[in-house]
Amino acid sequence: MITAVDTNIILDVLIPGEPFGESSKMLLDRHLSKGKLIISEIVFTELAAGFPSESELKSFLADTGMRLVYSNAKALFLAGSRWAEYARKGERNRFSCGKCGHYFEIPCPRCAAKLSKRFHVLADFLIGAHALVHADCILSRDLGIYKTYFNDLQVIGSIQRETET
């Protein structure tokens, strides 16, 4: 089994005290025991921002069993076509839930004007298309975008740890 890993799952493990840290670590361990963990160029690039050198990032990936796999033309075309579908849907000024994909509007609390949002960046679609073409599933907490535009991709999310009261 080949499992693609999204940046947010890796950051959960790297950043101390992250609420999803334990769950994301368990997900990574479970999927590594079933096969290979891969990341796309975009995930590699996003992770590079947090490492002092390329060699340290490569060492981290080797130590954790993750391997960089480059996108092919099929994945790149798929990312572009699904992003174009997203852009055409006209949901530009509506927000979407990262968990379920539901669209909604938010009025400004001061003047009641509808708030506008920025587009999902193409990077989200590149990560999803890479996973769809090069892996059997993806580990991510960005469920909404993948459920909506990559419903043919198996998405496995981590669970936030319970807070003690």
pLDDT band at 101 (very low <50, low <70, confident <90, very high): confident
Find tokens 């174009």 and name the residue.
84
Q: Which of 54-58, 87-91, 98-102 has the highest average model confidence (pLDDT)? A: 54-58
Q: What is the chain's alpha carbon radius of gyration, rounded to the nearest angstrom? A: 17
- Mean pLDDT for 72-96 is 83
User: What is the pLDDT at residue 87?
Assistant: 79
Q: What is the pLDDT of residues 109-122, one digit of tens each?
A: 888 877 665 556 78
Superfamily, domain 2-89+120-156: 5'-nuclease (3.40.50.1010)
Q: What is the pLDDT of residues 121-160, one digit of tens each?
A: 789 999 999 999 999 999 999 888 888 899 999 999 877 5
The CA-atom distances, in angstroms, between 34 and each of 12, 44, 50, 96 are: 21, 22, 28, 33
Could you write out the DSSP letters of every residue in 52-78? SSHHHHHHHHHHHTEEE----HHHHHH
The fraction of the chain above a pLDDT of 70, given in percent, is: 88
Taking each helix axis as running N to C, give the angle between helix 54-64 and helix 41-48, from 0 to 180 degrees, rounded to the nearest 10: 120
Q: What is the pLDDT of residues 5-15, one digit of tens each?
A: 999 999 999 99
